[in-house]
Structure 1
Amino acid sequence: MRWCVSIGAVLVACAMAGGDVAGIAAPSPRNQLAQTKDDKTAVDVELILAVDVSYSMDMDELAIQREGYAQAIVSKEFLQALKSLPNGKIAITYFEWAATNDQKIIIPWRMIDGPETADAVANEIIKTPIRRASRTSISGAINFAMPLFDENPFHGPRHVIDISGDGPNNNGVPVTPVRDAALAKGIVINGLPIMVKEPSYSTMDIDNLDWYYEDCVIGGPGSFVIAIKDRDKFKEAIRAKLLLEVAGRTPERRVVPVAEKEPRVSCMIGEKIWQDRWGR
């Protein structure tokens, strides 16, 4: 099932520890502690943060994005959600992406199990120089992310890829078959479409980027999109999304799977815009 939520105080409140709020169900008490596998450290979730650094993102957006992730990881709400988990631990890695072969790991796999490890990860995110690069390949980011789950020293029952970006796929292979390959591996993909600027031909932005993410990018049980349409809500949205991912919360109400209907936005729209503009 997939669902879309709007950022705001209600979302932040529902993501905090403590029962069912605003239609979001707390994890089942039947959930068991993650078991170690091949001597890997047991965690509650293996989370990949895949962050867009394409040229359509301005330097201010990139800085706010970095700060948003760093502040979310050390926030009181995040640490409270962490403590409520069966193991009280998550594994996290953070990489930045642009073109199909342009991905850079900023934070290799780390375990977060409390304030000290959270501070260490947040500080490492902040101190890394900000960069920008050409093209937007969401498919390349997913392809890069998938094998990372097999290469880390942790084992958790949930594998999640968290993708943030401000435009559709316009480079590399189409996004939907790569998304489907990830879903076949039991990976959940969530999205954070950034829509703080008016769509522009020069930056290849599109209307309804949130629809594109819902219909073409995300997938898996409980997958969701949080759209950022106000620059002032940037950090709040990142915090809310991480809280939901760590808590593993899912909606109580039924949501129609996107696969049951036609995409509202063409999943090839980015490639078409690039072809129309550059002829290649």
Structure 2
Amino acid sequence: MTARLHAVEDGPEDAPVLVLGPSLGTDTGLFDPQVAEFARTHRVIRYDLRGHGGSEVVPGPCTMADLAGDVLALLGSRGVERFSYAGVSIGGAIGQQLTLTVPGRLQKLAIIASAAQFADPPSWAVRAAQVREQGTEILVPSRTGTWFTADWAAEEPAAAERLLGMLRATPAEGYAACCEAIGAFDVRDRLGGIAAPTLVVAGAEDPATTVDMVRLLADGIPDSEIVVVPGAAHLPNATHPGAVNAALRGHFGD
């Protein structure tokens, strides 16, 4: 079943399309720093995952193919055929799925803090059950050190609280269903089929998708390069936008 996704558009309608896919437990606001950079030169479409932000909550479980189907339905409703894509964590996994599902439509791909298979697959079903029972609030304390470093949170407390507010606002079922998609995701043996020129970005301090995990993407995707962002954890586009935007600009161009 396809979910109706909430999306925000910025930039000229006739410009090249850049789609931005968010991390688990966040919303379109995750990409404010990228919109500020790219809306001058691109038609930027950022969306909420199913069951997140303003998107429809569809009871799980679901697969990464389902989440990619949501994005394709959204783009179809907006008349978009060819596009580039950048995604963070699960958003980056959706990007991989899109390039494998509709390879002719992807111009360029950027995968940020993501993996071809996420760590400890069985744990995601456990997390889904916990969140369904107790809500996303139980995860808030663990996001410091995962989403961003403690040092960054101390320096940018308002920005850290803004990100945590996205998690608190995420419906339990939406979060849980996406957890199940993460746990089932494994395209390690299909990376050679990703034909779009690809940029892979890792946070040097990311415990969720470590540099070694992210490097496996770069090693497996034929036309790819990797950038490691010093001091960044799992949401480098939000915490270190200067470095990430520079890498994305070099990849996507003007």
Fold in common (TM above 0.5) = no
Q: Compare CA radii of gyration and give the structure with the larger one.
A: 1
Choose between structure 1 and 2: higher strand proportion. 1
Q: What TM-score, normalized to structure 2?
A: 0.41
| TM-score, structure 1 as length reference | 0.38
Which of the pair has the greater relative contact order for Cα pairs under 8 Å at 6+ separation? 1
